[in-house]
Amino acid sequence: MRTVVSRAFWIAITGVAAQFASLGTGQAQQPAPATPAPSPAAPSAPAAAKPAEIRRDPAGIKGVSPVWESLKLGDASFVARDYDAAIKYYKEAITKEPQHPLGHLRMAEVLIQKGTFVEAAQAAATAERFAAKHPTLGARALFLIAWMHEQQQQWEEAIAAWNAYAKYAREQSKAKVFQRTPPERLKRIQDSKQLKQDSAAVKERIEKRLKEAEEKARRSAQ
């Protein structure tokens, strides 16, 4: 085994020496192994698209009006029932354009949801005052005012408000209104008033009979 290993060793050494000798005598060199081609680079991830820039225009012609931007944020908060955030954005809209009725109208609607009817009625009244060029918004404001009075059982104020809404609906042909609503609500109010009166009368009779019974029992005990 040692002999075989020794011969193999020398054969290897001789072969290496012959290769170096050929390099020195100018014999043809063995071509160097080709450098492996680099593997193709992994495709890079596409760059994140930049969000489209919002074009703003105070007039709302060539871009989004600042007041509409605030109203949109307020509406999103309103739908999410984040009423405090909605109030914040509606206030921004009113500050940016105080004589536009929509900001005041939206404010009235969100205040109704919070149950603050006094402030809501004031906001609705302001919206109606600025709605000369927006008859549908004016009608909506009057509708809310009448509805709030009715919800608080302020019957006389509710009757006056529903009549005002009906009159506005007749005079403003371009406004989108609910023509059938005022007569229906006025009938409901009259029914409620009558029921309250009847209940009061019944209560009074019962109290009177109880007092008579007590007086009769007192006399019998003497």
Give the model's confidence band at 45: pLDDT under 50 very low, under 70 low, under 90 confident, else very high. very low
| Separation of alpha carbons 207 and 50, rounded Å | 77
Among the listed residues 119, 75, 109, 116, the one whose alpha carbon sits nearest the alpha carbon of residue 93: 75
pTM of the model: 0.64
Whether residue 190 is contained in a domain is answered as: yes
Beta bridge partners of 114: none
Instruction: Find the domain containing 145 and state its range.
Output: 99-221
Give me the mean pLDDT over the 171-196 stretch: 92
Give me the helix-helix angle, 181-221 and 135-151, nearest 10°.
Answer: 10
Residue range 121-168, pLDDT digits in tens = 999 999 999 999 999 999 999 999 999 999 999 999 999 999 999 999
Cβ contact 128:165 at 8 Å: no
Cβ contact 128:138 at 8 Å: yes
Give ∠ CA 184-185-190 in degrees, rounded to 5.
100
Whether residue 19 is contained in a domain is answered as: no
pLDDT score recorded for residue 36:
43
Whether residue 37 is contained in a domain is answered as: no
Domain count for the chain: 1
Whether residue 58 is contained in a domain is answered as: no
Give the model's confidence band at 212: pLDDT under 50 very low, under 70 low, under 90 confident, else very high. confident
**CATH number for 164:** 1.25.40
Mean residue pLDDT of the chain comes to 78
Whether residue 118 is contained in a domain is answered as: yes
pLDDT score recorded for residue 218:
80
Among the listed residues 90, 100, 173, the one whose alpha carbon sits nearest the alpha carbon of residue 130: 100
- pLDDT at residue 16 above 90? no
Whether residue 48 is contained in a domain is answered as: no
